[in-house]
Amino acid sequence: MAVQAPLRTKPVSRSEWRERFLFLVFLGPNVLLFAIFTYWPLVYNAYLSFVSWNFIRPEKRWVGLANYRRVLGDVQFHQIFMNTVVFTVASVGLTLLIGLGLALLINQPLRGRNGVRAIVFSPVILSGAAIGVVWVYIFDPRYGLLSEILGLIGIRSPNWLLDPAWAMSALIIVYVWKNLGYSVVIFLAGLQSIPRELYEAARVDGASVWARFWHVTLPGLSPVLFFLSVTSILACFQAFDIIKVMTNGGPVNATNTLIFHLYELGFVAFNAGRAGVVAVILFLLMLILTVFQIRFLERRVHYE
């Protein structure tokens, strides 16, 4: 039986070593920055969720799962979790739905559509805190602009920001108004990338407007819809400035969300352990939703 000679590996040339060195030189700083400012905070936050610490004294007392039991057993946390779900579902759904409708309208060959695009997109570049201050006056039940408009049609304006039944609706309106322009611009880019030949072929086949939208426009926009759904959900979970300025989580926790509750526990109550628990839960929730979207929803995306 013949013995096979061992395969000889080709020696690495000097130019290949140089390329590898340059690769490490350019990649190293980025990996270092990610490790310091992203991965290490995640690990340290997970550690804080198992200790009792008030940010002031140097020593940290290990308490194990006590922080998790206290947070998860709190009825107030359950309400805050549901507030986050309602705020995210409503905001993302309305932003995508209204954004798609506006994009379809602006995509038509209408006069002045470039100006409309600029007007629609302008709230995106504004500060969320500044927008919140302006909308506080708009929602004023006695002197606000919205109260005046509703009064013209005989409707009494509710106390938007002080009534638990209306406060979340007010936040959703402002958040959708601020972020609508971004989805409109992305939808417009997607609409303009759909080949015109597909619409012409559908017209030749006698397809109606609805049929063309359902079988041509939506499949063509599926990558855009997937991208916007992932990024919009992640952004909603991190919405903070508008909530802080307009309602400060109230009234009676009606607009308190996970990210705002994290702020309250960590930087108002100085409870690093419980704040770490909320941060871990928020991170896991965002991770699970993102993985679910990538694994299951991306299958319905048509890239060609």
3-state secondary structure of 256: coil
242-288 residue pLDDT tens:
999 999 998 999 999 999 999 999 999 999 999 999 999 999 999 99
3-state secondary structure of 61: strand
201-217 residue pLDDT tens:
888 888 888 888 888 88
| 15, containing H or E segment | helix 14-34
Task: Please give the average per-residue pLDDT across 50-71, as a whole number.
Answer: 90
Q: How many CA atoms lie within 13 A of 100 on its CB side?
A: 15
- Distance (Å, whole) CA 34 – CA 28: 10
Q: Please give the mean pLDDT across all residues of the chain.
A: 88
Classify 270 in phi/psi space as left (phi over 0), alpha (psi -120 to 50) or beta. left
C-alpha distances (whole Å) from 271 to each of 57, 68, 87, 205 are 12, 13, 25, 65
Q: Which residues pair with 62 in a beta bridge?
A: 51
275 compared with 59, residue with greater pLDDT? 275
What pLDDT, on a 0 to 100 scale, did the predictor assign at position 131?
Answer: 93
Domains of the chain: 66-300 (1.10.3720.10)
Q: Quote the Cα angle for 251-253-256, to 5°.
A: 115
pLDDT band at 40 (very low <50, low <70, confident <90, very high): very high
Tokens coding 298: 């991306």
Tokens coding 18: 């140089």
- Helices then strands (H, E): number in the chain? 14, 2
What pLDDT, on a 0 to 100 scale, did the predictor assign at position 161?
Answer: 93
225 compared with 117, residue with greater pLDDT? 225
